[in-house]
Copies of this chain bind each other. A is one copy, B any other.
């Protein structure tokens, strides 16, 4: 859960930011099938948001099948691995679609898109060196609780 950061000024609602954070934590393997996620109250405290907001995020994710709640015991990552993998796939596909659609709408050709991405990844190579943590991604995490 280390990677979840809330941007209170973002256009995206907080509860969706929480969902995104959790989805990605699972996609990255930081949270594994069957793992317990923080209690609504705990997560609310650490993120400094209202418990209701966390609850909404959890509820929506339960609807998607990502989470399962056990009355009085807590909330858990589903053990349905195919579903988890499907979510990861879907998120990646959506990212590609958004990228390609947007750039095509701007009139870029295939080669330009590839080049744009390549140069970005290249230029970031140097930058992302010391900042591992400012972004919160890509670092292997220790076991929780």
Partner-B contacts on A (CB < 8 A): 3, 8-9, 13-14, 16, 20, 24, 27-29, 62-63, 68-71, 73, 76, 88, 91-92, 94-108, 110, 113-114, 116-118, 120-121, 124, 133-140, 143, 145
Contacts and interface: CB of A to CB of B under 8 A. Distances in A.
Given A3-B105, A117-B117, 8 more contacts: A73-B145, A92-B106, A92-B116, A95-B102, A98-B139, A110-B121, A114-B117, A114-B121
Contact of A98 (B9, B20, B95, B143): B95
Contacts of A29: 107
A138 B96 contact: no
A100 B113 contact: no
A121 B117 contact: no
Given A14-B71, A104-B133, A106-B91, A120 B140 contact: no
Contact of A28 (B13, B106, B110, B121): B106
Q: What is the count of identical protomers in the complex?
A: 4
A117 B92 contact: no
A1 to B, nearest CB: 13
A89 B7 CA distance: 25
